[in-house]
Structure 1
Amino acid sequence: MNSTEKEISYNITNTYSTLNVLTAKTKNVWFVCHGIDYLSRYFLKYFKDLNPAENYIIAPQASSKHYLGTNYKHVGASWLTKENTVTEIENVMRNFDAVFEAEQIPKNVNLIVLGYSQGVSVALRYVAKRQLQCSHLVIMSGGIPNELTANDFKFLKAKVYFVFGNQDEYINDERLLLEKHKVNILYGETAKIISFEGKHAVNTNFINKLGS
C-alpha cells in the first residue's frame, strides 16, 4: 500500500463560554481551561459561587469533540493527543489568541489563568508561548509539559499555585515528586504547593478563596 499523509490549512469556527458580565466593577478575569471529556459551558459550574459582580470567567472550548460512553448521548472534548501534537498545540494557541482578541480584557483587572487536568498543558503552553502576563497561575490536578523550561517563564510575575488532591488516582508518589520538582524548576520556591482532601477533582474551595 502506497499511502501518503499530507497537510492542509483552513479556518475553523469554534465556541467558548463565559460566566457573568465584564463591567467596570470586575476585579478578576479568569481564563480557565477544562479537563478531558468536558465542554466549556459545563466547566463553568465550578465558578458559579464566585461573586458575579467582581469575577468574569472565560472558558475556551477544546475543538476535538467525541461521544462519551456507548449510548452516544453526551459529548466531551479533549485538547491534545499524541497524534500530530506539535501542529495541534499551534491550533490551540490560535484558538486562545482569537478568544483574547474577542474579549479585549482590560489591563486594570487581575487576570487569573487556571488549567485543570488536561487543561494544565494548554494553559501553561499559552502563557509561555505568548508571554501572557497574569496575576495568578493555577496548575490544578494536572501535569506540566516536559518541554517547558524556566527560561520560558522568566517574564512571569504571577503568583503560582500547584493544587492537587491527596487521593488523586492519576498522581502517585513518584509522579507527585516529579511535578513538584518541575514547579520548583520553572517557578522557584515561591510557588505554593497546596494539597486538598480528595481525588482527581476541581477544588472549588480554592477557587472561591482566590476569587474572594
Structure 2
Amino acid sequence: MNSTEKEISYTATNSYSTLNTLSNQTKNIWFVCHGMGYLSRYFLRYFSSLSPEENYVIAPQAQSKYYIAPKMKHVGASWLTKENTLKETENVMRYFDAIFNTEKITPDKNLMLLGYSQGVSVVMRYMAKRQLSCQRLIIHSGGIPKELTPKDFEYLNLKTKVNLVYGTQDEYLDHNRIEQEELKAKALFGDRLSLHPFEGKHEVNSSLIKVFSE
C-alpha cells in the first residue's frame, strides 16, 4: 500500500451565535467557548441571566460536528483532537480572528474570555497567541494547554483577573487532576488567580458567571 497524505488550503464558512445587542450601554463583551458536544446557540442559555443591557455575548461554534451517541439524534461539536492538532489550532485561531474583525470589539468595553471544558484549550491558546488584553479570563472545568508558559501572559496588565472554576464532584476531574490544574494556573497567573470550587458535577455554573459580570 503506497498512500500519501497531502494538504490543501481552502475557504470555509462557519457560524457563531450572539446574545443581546452591542450598544453604548454595553459594559462587558463575552467571548465564550463551549465544551465538547455543544452547539454555540444552546451554550448561550448559560448566559441568559446576565443583564442584557450591560452584557453582549459571542459564542463561537466548533467546526467539527457529529451525531451524539447513543441515539445519534442530536448534533454536537468538538474543537480539537490529538489528530493534526497544530494545524487544526491554526484554523481555529483564524476563525476567531474573523469573528473579532467582524464584531469590531473596542477597548472601551470589558472583554471577558471564558472557556468551558474543551473550550478552555482554544480560548487560552487564542489569548496567548494574539496577546489579548481582557478584564477577566474564566477557566471553567477544563485543562490548561501544556505548552503555555508564564512568559505567554507577561503582557497582561494588573487589572486582568483570572478565575479557575470547577465542580468538586466533576466526573472528569479527580483530586489529582484538580491539583495539577491549580498548580499550572498559579504558575501562569500568580496573584491575579482566584479559585472557585463549587458543589456540583461537570456543569456550567451560571451563578458564578453572573457574579463575575458585576
- Normalised to the residue count of structure 1, the TM-score between the two structures is 0.98
Q: What is the deviation of 1:156? A: 1.5
Work out the CA distance in 1 between the residues paired with 2:176 and 2:75. 33
RMSD (CA atoms): 0.8
Corresponding residue for residue 85 of structure 1: 85
Match of 2:178 in 1: 176
In the other structure, the counterpart of 2:199 is 197
Residues 158-190 of structure 1, C-alpha deviations (whole Å, 9 max, x = no match): 100000001111111111111011011100133
Tell me the matched-pair count.
212
Amino acid at match of 2:149: T
**SS of aligned partner of 2:77:** strand
- Residue type of the alignment partner of 1:136: R
For the residue of structure 1 that corresponds to 2:91, the secondary structure is: helix
| 3-state SS, counterpart of residue 137 of structure 1 | strand
Q: Distance in 1 between matches of 2:176 and 2:120?
A: 19
Q: Quick one: distance in 1 between partners of 2:60 and 2:167?
A: 24
Identity across the alignment (%):
60
Does the alignment pair 1:4 with 2:26?
Answer: no
Taking structure 2 as the reference length, the TM-score comes to 0.97
Residue 73 of structure 1: how far off its partner (Å):
2.1
Shift of 1:210: 1.3
Question: Aligned equivalents of 1:77 and 1:65: distance in 2?
Answer: 4
Cα distance in 2 for residues equivalent to 1:174 and 1:28 = 34
The answer for unaligned runs of 5 or more in structure 2 is: none
Partner of 1:33: 33
- Residue range with higher mean Cα deviation, 183-192 or 40-49: 183-192
3-state DSSP of counterpart to 1:188? helix
Distance between the aligned counterparts of 1:189 and 1:25, measured in 2? 31
**What is the alpha-carbon distance in structure 1 between the residues aligned to residue 31 and residue 91 of structure 2?**
18
Q: Which runs of 5+ in 1 are unaligned?
A: none
Change (3 A) 1:102 1:149: same
